Every structure is written in C-alpha cells, then in structure tokens.
Amino acid sequence: MKYIHWIFFILMTSIFAGLFMDVLSHIPLYHEQHHLFLFSKEYLAKYLDTGDLLTYLTNFCIQFFYIPYAGSIFFALLLSLPYLLNVFICRHITKRTDYLQLSLLPSLYLLIQYESIDYPVRHVVGLLFCLWIYFFLSFLKGKQKYIVFLPAFLLLGYGLGWTYPLLSFLGVLVPSLSAFLFPEIQRKKYLFIGTLLMGTVYLTGTFYFFVHTYNMREHLLLQADKEVKNQHWEKVMAYCKRYRGENQLVSYFYNMALQHSGRMAYDLFLTPQRMGVQGLYLPWKSDSRQSEYGHYIYEQLGYLNEAHRWAFEALVVTGETAPILDNLIRYNIANGRPAVAMRFVRVLEQSLFYRKKAQEYEKIIQEKGSIELKALPHDEKEKIRFANVLNIGPELTYICDRDSSNQMAFEYLMSHLLLSNKIPRFVENLNRIQAFSYTPFPPIYEEALLTYRLEVGEEICNQLPFSISQETERRFQQYHSLYQKGQQEELKRQFANTYWYYLHFISPYGNKISTN
C-alpha cells in the first residue's frame, strides 16, 4: 500500500489519455486550433504588459496538443498531476498518507469539466501552477514553511487572481485534515478496505457524471469539421447523419459533403432539409462561433475574395490562430498579394509546429509560385461589387455567370432555388445544366419541372428543352393519390426523398411555389 498513489496516478492517467484519444479526441484538437503560442520577444512582452502570464503559460502548454496521441497523453497528465501533487503535499505536511484518496476529487472533477470545449485550459494550468508552488514550500523545515506560505499565497493571488490559489489550497487542506483527524485509518487492517471502498465510490460517481454530461452532439460536430478540413466527405456525412437534432453547421457540412461526393443533384432530399436554404451556407450574423466556418463554401466555389473576408472576420473575432493564418496566407498568395501573405507567414514562422509549413509558403512566395486554389476568372474592367452577406443566392448567380463550368456553383444555385420554393427561377436557370453531363437526369429536377408544369400548364412547359420521364410521371400519380387520401405516413415512407414531399410537408417557407 506504500505506493498506492502511484498505482492510482498511472491508472488515472492511462484512462484519461484513452478518453482523449477516443470519445474526447475533439477537446485537445479544438483548443490547439484556437490558441497559438509564438516564440518571440514581442509575444512575451504582450503578456508581460498586461500581467496575464497565466494565458502565456496556458498557450505554451496547448501547443503540444498538436501531436494527436502525444497531446492526449500530455493533457491527461495535466489533469492527473493535481492528484499526485496533493498526495505529496499532504504527506510532507502531516507525515501521513491520504488513504481516503480525497486527493482524487480535483482531477476527477476536472475530467468532467473538460468534456466541454467551453471549459478553458487555463483553469487546470492555473491550479497546477499554484500546487507546484505549495509542493516546493512543503519541503521547507519546521516553521519556515508556514512563514513563507502566507506571502507566497498573497503573491499568487495578486498575480493570478484569488480563484486558483484558494481552490488549490482547499484541494490540499481537505485531504491533509482527513489524514490528520482520522489517524486510525492508517492502521494496516483498514488501509486496503478503505482505499478500495473510496476508490470505487469516486470512480463510480465519475463514470455516472461522465456518461450523463457527455455531449455527443458536440463531439460529432467537431469531428465533422475536422473531416471537412481533411476533405474526407464520406466521413463528414457519416458524422452528420449520427447527429440528433437540428443544427445549421451540421446541415452546412452535410450538404457540402453531398456536393463533393457527386450526389447533391440526386440525393439532396435523402435527409430532411428542415432548415431550407439556411442549411446551404452561413449568412453573416456576427456570430463568433460561426465566423470561422463561413469561408469553406466560398473557397470551394472559387470565390476567394469572399473567403478572404470571412477569414479576416474570424481573425478579428478569434485572434491569430494557425488555421486562420493559414487561410489568409493561401488566399493572399492566390490573389497575387505576396506582401500581405508574408505578414502572416512571419507570424506563423514563430510557432513550433507550424514553422515548417510557414517556410514552405515563404518559398512559394519567393519563387513567385502560386497556391492551387480554384478562383473565379478575373476581369480588370469589372466594377467593384460587394457580396450579399445575408443571402447566397445572388452570389451563386454571379459565380455561374462568371464561370459556366463551375458545377458546384450550379448545383448550389439549383438547390438554393428548390429549397426556397422558387420553382420559376429554378426553371429559368436550368438551361445551365447543358454545360455538364448528368446521367441520368436528376430525378429531383424532373420533380421540380413537373411541379412547374402543374403551375403554368403543359403548353408553356412543353416549350422547354427538357422532358419528364415516364417513371417520374408514374411516381407522381402514386404520390398524388396518397396525398389526396391524406395518407401522410405512407407518403413519408415512399416519397420522403422527393421534392414534392419537401414542398408539402418540410419546407420552412410554406407549401406554395414562390414567384419572387
């Protein structure tokens, strides 16, 4: 039982590391992507001037989350070390061991808190910093430790705020009082039973709270975002399908993956599009969380100026992070602004894990190379225009007019018009399909054409260079029969993936065709 604390420490660190490699893998990744530590005098001076050295130290720790498995182990160590330090401090002060294992509670509590990305890493760093100071003070002899402790406590409170010194002090005080007030638990015949019993109670309680507070939706959303960056579109759709409930980012990622998988024109309604056009893009709403995701679609559409605007807005909101700097470098190189790109390269070069990538960008700039990003054709005579930040519809039309071969812009425009019930405008733009090869002709486009025919009559519809297949005609007759009978459950079972069902039962804009 002499080394029971090492057994608990190793066991707890192993479990924590396993969690951060699996069900909590999004936590260290999220923090690493939202903090950037720089090895420069200016970066240090910024925190010295503000007196916020804890943030400096926190960012230093977070940078090591960059390496997935090593970062998970390091994060696990950060959460486990409070237990070990509490045990040693308790032993030095009371000359007894915390066999009730009350020192486990801070680490277990931290694990529950770090199930969410909203719990700052600075909390565990601040707690550990104070515990390390108390640990070194506990080695002092006799009354020295008590004489030095008060000014050390006051100094920590002045430098870090009173929260971390006070909480770390309570974390030490509780197990120390327990060991001092209940010396009978130190007897050998009680040691094993007491330790086993308390350990079981703590672990059972932690497991209960972990399961009941675990945010699966947050995990799926951030994993989907990770796969979007990696362009693993099948994985993106798999994570989005597992998500329960409505979320604009999930719909945004899913539709993006659907298009890149070549299935948007065929499977748009394979899942309910309850958010309508809001599931295709992110309108600018000054939302700090969404600002870092809006650039995805514009970059993929080749609309780099608008992608740059979103990236710069994210920079203003979030500050200098590696993903944002990387985007700004790429967009400025692609747009022929090497001097601006170098400004961001110089920042990224001061980091530990992104230095090599920044040097590669610098080499491209020096060699007058270019980043292979799809961009809209440039027209020197074009007048300055401002993008519609609230409605992507006009932007999609603009992109299609500039580049008729942009299939993504075409499919997004068609999807936008379908989801907003704008069938007449859908038909007006359908001629653009002739620039692409669709085999077979998308059934949902035929369904929209048939709906348009019912609205304007066969004479006008027959003038269009498109025909409706007999299969679509047959399915509509079956749909109409069930609709007339009011058999909605059967309609859902057989036709939930059709445009007709979307228009009648799902569209957030009503069940009528819009002529606007």
Domain ranges, ordered by start, for the chain: 4-214, 216-261, 282-378, 393-506
Query: Residue 383: which H helix or E strand, with range?
Result: none
Burial of 92 (0-12, 13-18, 19+ CB in 10 A): middle
Please tell me the predicted confidence (pLDDT) of residue 117.
95
Cβ atoms of 261 and 234 within 8 Å: the answer is: yes
Please tell me the predicted confidence (pLDDT) of residue 183.
60
- The whole-number average pLDDT for the span 306-334 is 92
pLDDT digits (tens, 9 = 90+) for 224-249: 999 999 999 999 999 999 999 899 99
More reliable by pLDDT, 180 or 300: 300
pLDDT digits (tens, 9 = 90+) for 247-273: 999 999 999 999 999 999 999 999 999
Interatomic CA distance for residues 179 and 99, integer angstroms: 7
Query: Residue 266: which H helix or E strand, with range?
Result: helix 264-267
Residue 389 DSSP SS3: coil
Percent of the chain with pLDDT over 70: 93
Please tell me the predicted confidence (pLDDT) of residue 383.
61
* Crossing angle of the two packed helices 322-334 and 304-318, in degrees rounded to 10: 150
Burial of 402 (0-12, 13-18, 19+ CB in 10 A): middle
* Crossing angle of the two packed helices 443-456 and 407-419, in degrees rounded to 10: 50
- Candidates 452, 464, 462, 396; CA nearest to 424 is 452
Interatomic CA distance for residues 437 and 449, integer angstroms: 18
Interatomic CA distance for residues 245 and 501, integer angstroms: 20
- Candidates 234, 269, 281, 227; CA nearest to 413 is 281
How many other C-beta atoms lie within 10 A of the C-beta of residue 482? 18
Statement: residue 468 has pLDDT above 70: yes
Q: How confident is the model at residue 173 (pLDDT cuts 50, 70, 90)?
A: confident
More reliable by pLDDT, 370 or 108: 108
Distance between start and end Cα atoms, the chain: 78
Q: Which residue has the tokens 């094993």?
A: 192
Please tell me the predicted confidence (pLDDT) of residue 413.
97
For 188, the token pair is 């050998």
For 371, the token pair is 């980043």
Statement: residue 380 has pLDDT above 70: no
- The whole-number average pLDDT for the span 113-122 is 95
Interatomic CA distance for residues 422 and 129, integer angstroms: 60
For 148, the token pair is 């030095």
- The whole-number average pLDDT for the span 61-65 is 96
Half-sphere exposure in the Cβ direction for 344 (13 Å, CA): 26
Interatomic CA distance for residues 290 and 147, integer angstroms: 51
Q: How confident is the model at residue 370 (pLDDT cuts 50, 70, 90)?
A: low
Q: How confident is the model at residue 143 (pLDDT cuts 50, 70, 90)?
A: low
Interatomic CA distance for residues 386 and 329, integer angstroms: 22
Interatomic CA distance for residues 131 and 89, integer angstroms: 9
Half-sphere exposure in the Cβ direction for 210 (13 Å, CA): 16
Cβ atoms of 116 and 222 within 8 Å: the answer is: no
Q: Any alpha helices (H) in 391-512, and if so which ranges? A: 393-402, 407-419, 423-429, 443-456, 458-461, 470-484, 488-495, 499-501
Please tell me the predicted confidence (pLDDT) of residue 187.
56
More reliable by pLDDT, 189 or 504: 504
Interatomic CA distance for residues 249 and 260, integer angstroms: 17
Interatomic CA distance for residues 103 and 84, integer angstroms: 8
Please tell me what DSSP assigns to residue 393. Answer: H
Cβ atoms of 329 and 339 within 8 Å: the answer is: no
Interatomic CA distance for residues 412 and 401, integer angstroms: 14
Q: Any alpha helices (H) in 95-143, and if so which ranges? A: 104-113, 122-137
**In the structure, how many helices (H) and strands (E) does the chain have?**
27, 0
Q: Is 349 left (phi over 0), alpha (psi -120 to 50) or beta?
A: alpha
Sign for the pseudo-dihedral over CA of 452, 456, 459, 460: negative
Topology of domain 282-378 in CATH is 1.25.40
More reliable by pLDDT, 286 or 208: 208
CA angle 364, 369, 370 (to 5 degrees): 100
- The whole-number average pLDDT for the span 421-446 is 94
- Candidates 146, 4, 17; CA nearest to 80 is 17
Cβ-count burial 143-162 (b if 16+ within 10 Å, e if not): eebeeebeebbeebeeebee
Query: Residue 254: which H helix or E strand, with range?
Result: helix 248-260
Please tell me what DSSP assigns to residue 67. Answer: S
Q: Which residue has the tokens 């610098």?
A: 362
Statement: residue 382 has pLDDT above 60: no
- The whole-number average pLDDT for the span 419-429 is 95
Query: Residue 245: which H helix or E strand, with range?
Result: none
pLDDT digits (tens, 9 = 90+) for 333-345: 988 899 999 999 9
- The whole-number average pLDDT for the span 456-484 is 90
Statement: residue 473 has pLDDT above 60: yes
Return the minimum-mean-pLDDT range out of 12-26, 82-96, 134-148. Answer: 134-148
